Structure 1
Protein backbone atom coordinates (compact mmCIF):
# COMPACT_ATOMS: atom_id res chain seq x y z
CA UNK A 1 0.00 0.00 0.00
CA UNK A 2 2.85 2.35 0.85
CA UNK A 3 4.43 1.58 -2.55
CA UNK A 4 1.22 2.51 -4.39
CA UNK A 5 0.85 5.77 -2.46
CA UNK A 6 4.45 6.78 -3.12
CA UNK A 7 4.13 5.83 -6.81
CA UNK A 8 0.94 7.90 -7.15
CA UNK A 9 2.60 10.84 -5.37
CA UNK A 10 5.63 10.61 -7.69
CA UNK A 11 3.40 10.44 -10.76
CA UNK A 12 1.40 13.45 -9.59
CA UNK A 13 4.61 15.40 -8.95
CA UNK A 14 5.91 14.52 -12.44
CA UNK A 15 2.61 15.55 -14.03
CA UNK A 16 2.65 18.82 -12.14
CA UNK A 17 6.28 19.40 -13.14
CA UNK A 18 5.48 18.66 -16.78
CA UNK A 19 2.59 21.11 -16.66
CA UNK A 20 4.83 23.82 -15.26
CA UNK A 21 7.50 23.13 -17.89
CA UNK A 22 4.94 23.38 -20.69
CA UNK A 23 3.37 26.54 -19.29
CA UNK A 24 6.73 28.34 -18.97
CA UNK A 25 8.86 27.63 -22.08
CA UNK A 26 11.10 30.67 -21.59
CA UNK A 27 14.65 30.09 -22.68
CA UNK A 28 13.73 27.29 -25.09
CA UNK A 29 15.40 27.79 -28.44
CA UNK A 30 14.73 24.47 -30.19
CA UNK A 31 12.16 23.62 -32.87
CA UNK A 32 8.50 24.40 -32.26
CA UNK A 33 5.22 23.34 -33.80
CA UNK A 34 3.39 26.28 -32.19
CA UNK A 35 1.82 28.70 -34.67
CA UNK A 36 3.99 31.70 -35.44
CA UNK A 37 2.71 35.12 -34.43
CA UNK A 38 1.82 37.26 -37.40
CA UNK A 39 2.81 40.91 -37.21
CA UNK A 40 -0.22 43.16 -37.61
CA UNK A 41 -0.51 44.96 -40.92
CA UNK A 42 -0.14 48.70 -41.31
CA UNK A 43 -2.36 50.99 -43.36
CA UNK A 44 -0.35 52.98 -45.91
CA UNK A 45 -3.03 54.94 -47.74
CA UNK A 46 -4.19 58.55 -47.39
CA UNK A 47 -4.76 60.01 -43.92
CA UNK A 48 -6.83 62.85 -42.51
CA UNK A 49 -4.43 63.16 -39.57
CA UNK A 50 -2.75 66.55 -40.13
CA UNK A 51 0.94 66.67 -41.00
CA UNK A 52 2.52 69.26 -38.69
CA UNK A 53 5.95 70.57 -37.85
CA UNK A 54 7.36 70.37 -34.34
CA UNK A 55 7.06 74.16 -34.05
CA UNK A 56 3.39 74.14 -35.13
CA UNK A 57 2.59 71.33 -32.71
CA UNK A 58 4.32 73.03 -29.77
CA UNK A 59 2.88 76.49 -30.56
CA UNK A 60 -0.72 75.60 -31.40
CA UNK A 61 -1.24 71.95 -30.42
CA UNK A 62 -3.90 70.98 -27.89
CA UNK A 63 -3.64 68.17 -25.35
CA UNK A 64 -4.62 64.83 -26.93
CA UNK A 65 -4.45 66.30 -30.46
CA UNK A 66 -3.64 63.65 -33.07
CA UNK A 67 -0.89 64.62 -35.52
CA UNK A 68 1.77 63.34 -37.91
CA UNK A 69 5.39 64.47 -37.73
CA UNK A 70 8.15 63.87 -40.26
CA UNK A 71 11.83 64.10 -39.41
CA UNK A 72 14.43 62.06 -37.49
CA UNK A 73 14.70 60.37 -34.12
CA UNK A 74 18.06 61.81 -33.06
CA UNK A 75 18.64 60.29 -29.61
CA UNK A 76 17.42 57.80 -27.04
CA UNK A 77 16.83 59.30 -23.59
CA UNK A 78 15.86 56.06 -21.79
CA UNK A 79 12.55 54.58 -20.62
CA UNK A 80 10.93 54.64 -24.11
CA UNK A 81 11.74 58.37 -24.46
CA UNK A 82 13.47 59.72 -27.58
CA UNK A 83 14.25 63.15 -29.02
CA UNK A 84 12.61 63.79 -32.40
CA UNK A 85 13.78 66.60 -34.68
CA UNK A 86 12.55 68.26 -37.83
CA UNK A 87 13.69 71.48 -39.54
CA UNK A 88 11.69 73.59 -37.04
CA UNK A 89 12.69 72.13 -33.68
CA UNK A 90 12.84 69.21 -31.27
CA UNK A 91 10.32 67.41 -29.07
CA UNK A 92 10.47 64.50 -26.65
CA UNK A 93 8.55 61.50 -27.99
CA UNK A 94 7.45 58.33 -26.22
CA UNK A 95 7.68 55.22 -28.39
CA UNK A 96 6.83 51.71 -27.19
CA UNK A 97 9.00 48.99 -28.74
CA UNK A 98 6.02 47.46 -30.55
CA UNK A 99 5.34 50.78 -32.34
CA UNK A 100 8.59 50.59 -34.34
CA UNK A 101 8.38 48.91 -37.78
CA UNK A 102 8.68 45.14 -37.21
CA UNK A 103 11.98 43.66 -38.34
CA UNK A 104 13.54 47.03 -39.23
CA UNK A 105 16.05 49.18 -37.41
CA UNK A 106 15.85 52.95 -37.24
CA UNK A 107 19.04 55.01 -37.19
CA UNK A 108 19.49 58.67 -36.28
CA UNK A 109 19.92 59.44 -40.00
CA UNK A 110 16.73 57.66 -41.13
CA UNK A 111 13.74 59.90 -41.90
CA UNK A 112 10.56 58.69 -40.25
CA UNK A 113 6.93 59.63 -39.92
CA UNK A 114 5.41 59.49 -36.45
CA UNK A 115 1.67 59.26 -35.87
CA UNK A 116 0.44 59.91 -32.35
CA UNK A 117 -1.01 62.46 -29.99
CA UNK A 118 0.28 65.41 -28.05
CA UNK A 119 0.49 65.04 -24.28
CA UNK A 120 0.55 68.64 -23.09
CA UNK A 121 0.79 69.10 -19.35
CA UNK A 122 1.79 71.84 -16.95
CA UNK A 123 5.28 70.44 -16.39
CA UNK A 124 6.02 68.53 -19.59
CA UNK A 125 4.99 68.31 -23.20
CA UNK A 126 5.70 65.23 -25.28
CA UNK A 127 4.36 63.35 -28.27
CA UNK A 128 3.02 59.84 -27.58
CA UNK A 129 3.67 57.79 -30.71
CA UNK A 130 1.26 55.15 -31.96
CA UNK A 131 3.17 54.25 -35.15
CA UNK A 132 6.62 54.79 -36.67
CA UNK A 133 6.94 54.54 -40.45
CA UNK A 134 10.25 54.69 -42.34
CA UNK A 135 10.35 57.30 -45.10
CA UNK A 136 12.38 56.98 -48.32
Structure 2
Protein backbone atom coordinates (compact mmCIF):
# COMPACT_ATOMS: atom_id res chain seq x y z
CA UNK A 1 0.00 0.00 0.00
CA UNK A 2 1.46 3.34 -1.00
CA UNK A 3 0.15 6.41 0.81
CA UNK A 4 1.16 9.63 -0.85
CA UNK A 5 0.49 12.53 1.50
CA UNK A 6 0.12 14.84 -1.47
CA UNK A 7 -2.87 12.78 -2.62
CA UNK A 8 -4.79 13.73 0.52
CA UNK A 9 -6.74 16.94 0.35
CA UNK A 10 -4.70 20.05 1.20
CA UNK A 11 -7.87 21.60 2.61
CA UNK A 12 -7.99 18.79 5.16
CA UNK A 13 -4.43 19.59 6.24
CA UNK A 14 -5.07 23.32 6.49
CA UNK A 15 -8.25 22.79 8.48
CA UNK A 16 -6.44 20.56 10.96
CA UNK A 17 -3.41 22.83 11.24
CA UNK A 18 -5.63 25.79 12.10
CA UNK A 19 -6.95 23.84 15.09
CA UNK A 20 -3.50 23.36 16.58
CA UNK A 21 -1.49 26.39 15.45
CA UNK A 22 -3.13 28.91 17.73
CA UNK A 23 -5.83 29.88 15.24
CA UNK A 24 -8.56 27.73 16.77
CA UNK A 25 -9.94 26.72 20.13
CA UNK A 26 -7.81 23.55 20.26
CA UNK A 27 -4.59 25.57 20.67
CA UNK A 28 -2.87 24.95 23.99
CA UNK A 29 -0.27 27.72 23.59
CA UNK A 30 -0.91 30.78 21.50
CA UNK A 31 2.58 32.25 21.07
CA UNK A 32 5.32 31.35 18.58
CA UNK A 33 6.53 28.41 20.66
CA UNK A 34 2.98 27.15 20.95
CA UNK A 35 2.40 27.33 17.22
CA UNK A 36 5.60 25.36 16.55
CA UNK A 37 4.55 22.68 19.01
CA UNK A 38 1.07 22.71 17.57
CA UNK A 39 2.35 22.18 14.07
CA UNK A 40 4.42 19.21 15.20
CA UNK A 41 1.43 17.78 17.07
CA UNK A 42 -0.81 18.26 14.05
CA UNK A 43 1.63 16.56 11.71
CA UNK A 44 2.02 13.64 14.12
CA UNK A 45 -1.75 13.24 14.27
CA UNK A 46 -1.95 13.45 10.49
CA UNK A 47 0.65 10.73 10.04
CA UNK A 48 -0.75 8.45 12.74
CA UNK A 49 -4.32 8.79 11.55
CA UNK A 50 -3.34 8.10 7.94
CA UNK A 51 -3.10 4.51 9.18
CA UNK A 52 -6.61 4.53 10.68
CA UNK A 53 -8.56 1.71 8.97
CA UNK A 54 -11.36 4.01 7.81
CA UNK A 55 -8.83 6.52 6.46
CA UNK A 56 -6.93 3.82 4.56
CA UNK A 57 -10.20 2.65 3.00
CA UNK A 58 -10.98 6.23 1.85
CA UNK A 59 -7.54 6.79 0.35
CA UNK A 60 -7.47 3.41 -1.40
CA UNK A 61 -10.92 4.15 -2.84
CA UNK A 62 -9.59 7.50 -4.17
CA UNK A 63 -12.06 9.40 -1.96
CA UNK A 64 -11.23 12.57 -0.01
CA UNK A 65 -9.48 11.89 3.28
CA UNK A 66 -11.28 12.43 6.57
CA UNK A 67 -10.14 15.33 8.74
CA UNK A 68 -7.94 14.54 11.71
CA UNK A 69 -10.51 16.21 13.96
CA UNK A 70 -13.35 13.99 12.77
CA UNK A 71 -11.20 10.87 13.16
CA UNK A 72 -10.25 12.00 16.67
CA UNK A 73 -13.89 12.52 17.64
CA UNK A 74 -14.87 9.13 16.20
CA UNK A 75 -12.02 7.44 18.09
CA UNK A 76 -13.07 9.18 21.30
CA UNK A 77 -16.64 7.95 20.87
CA UNK A 78 -15.40 4.42 20.11
CA UNK A 79 -13.42 4.46 23.37
CA UNK A 80 -16.42 5.82 25.29
CA UNK A 81 -18.69 3.07 23.95
CA UNK A 82 -16.06 0.44 24.77
CA UNK A 83 -15.82 1.85 28.30
CA UNK A 84 -19.60 1.75 28.78
CA UNK A 85 -19.73 -1.82 27.47
CA UNK A 86 -17.00 -2.94 29.89
CA UNK A 87 -18.65 -1.02 32.75
CA UNK A 88 -21.92 -2.88 32.20
CA UNK A 89 -20.08 -6.20 32.59
CA UNK A 90 -19.31 -5.48 36.28
CA UNK A 91 -21.62 -7.09 38.87
CA UNK A 92 -22.61 -3.64 40.18
CA UNK A 93 -21.99 -1.04 37.45
CA UNK A 94 -23.44 1.77 39.57
CA UNK A 95 -20.81 1.33 42.29
CA UNK A 96 -18.05 1.15 39.68
CA UNK A 97 -19.33 4.37 38.10
CA UNK A 98 -19.34 6.14 41.49
CA UNK A 99 -15.76 4.96 42.04
CA UNK A 100 -14.79 6.39 38.67
CA UNK A 101 -16.54 9.66 39.51
CA UNK A 102 -14.40 10.04 42.62
CA UNK A 103 -11.24 9.35 40.60
CA UNK A 104 -12.27 11.97 38.05
CA UNK A 105 -12.71 14.58 40.82
CA UNK A 106 -9.14 13.88 41.99
CA UNK A 107 -7.51 13.86 38.54
CA UNK A 108 -9.37 16.66 36.75
CA UNK A 109 -9.03 19.75 38.91
CA UNK A 110 -10.83 22.92 37.83
CA UNK A 111 -8.38 25.80 37.43
CA UNK A 112 -9.19 29.51 37.77
CA UNK A 113 -9.07 31.45 34.53
CA UNK A 114 -6.54 34.22 34.05
CA UNK A 115 -8.74 35.84 31.40
CA UNK A 116 -11.33 37.19 33.84
CA UNK A 117 -10.79 40.55 35.51
CA UNK A 118 -12.02 39.55 38.99
CA UNK A 119 -9.63 40.77 41.67
CA UNK A 120 -7.55 42.88 39.26
CA UNK A 121 -6.91 46.62 39.41
CA UNK A 122 -8.76 48.03 36.43
CA UNK A 123 -7.10 51.41 36.69
CA UNK A 124 -8.86 54.61 35.68
CA UNK A 125 -12.50 54.03 34.74
CA UNK A 126 -13.59 57.65 34.14
CA UNK A 127 -14.20 58.73 30.55
CA UNK A 128 -11.42 60.70 28.88
CA UNK A 129 -12.00 64.36 27.95
CA UNK A 130 -12.27 63.43 24.26
CA UNK A 131 -14.89 60.80 25.03
CA UNK A 132 -16.88 63.33 27.05
CA UNK A 133 -16.65 65.75 24.11
CA UNK A 134 -17.87 63.12 21.62
CA UNK A 135 -20.78 62.05 23.78
CA UNK A 136 -21.88 65.70 24.31
CA UNK A 137 -22.01 66.38 20.54
TM-score where L is the length of structure 2: 0.18
TM-score where L is the length of structure 1: 0.18
Higher strand content, 1 or 2: 1
